Amino acid sequence: MKRFVGGNDGRVFVLNPGIRELGTFEWATKPPTAKARELAKAMLVELFDGDEGKATRFYLRFMHRMDGSAVWKNGQSWSQTETELLAIVKTIEQAEREGAQMRAQADRELPMVQPSGNPFPGATGYGSRDSAPDRRRR
């Protein structure tokens, strides 16, 4: 099982079973630096056994989720297992599914806007020029 370790010097390593440095931890900066984004992606590529496409899909949300974690603080050592990090990715996937379901439900329930801009065909006075009060001086 892979273990991801951050030292108090900011460097991040993966233990699998050898040791390989992935980058330097600096996610607490606002906005996150390019180096921080690269590290998040490198961690996910390692976590997903080289699947760069999947890593690209998740790395920004993963980075933001981990940035708020009490485990990951600049200047402090930390360690998380492959299982712990995969659980975080699963919560991101679940949020994606729930968001897609809510959008689909909203699309089904909200009235469609007609080409005229009126979502209620046949309704009089809705959004038409004729229904607006005449503001010109006479």
- CA of 86: how far to CAs of 37, 47, 89, 96, 97, in Å? 18, 8, 5, 15, 16
pTM value? 0.65
Q: Compute φ and ψ for 44, nearest 5 degrees.
A: -70, -35
Confidence of residue 126 (pLDDT cuts 50, 70, 90): very low
Mean local confidence (pLDDT), 54-81: 78
Q: Are 54 and 90 in contact (CB under 8 A)?
A: no
CA 43/CA 134 separation, integer angstroms: 64
* Three-state SS at 113: coil
Chain mean pLDDT for the chain: 76
Q: Specify whether the CB–CB gap between 104 and 78 falls below 8 A.
A: no
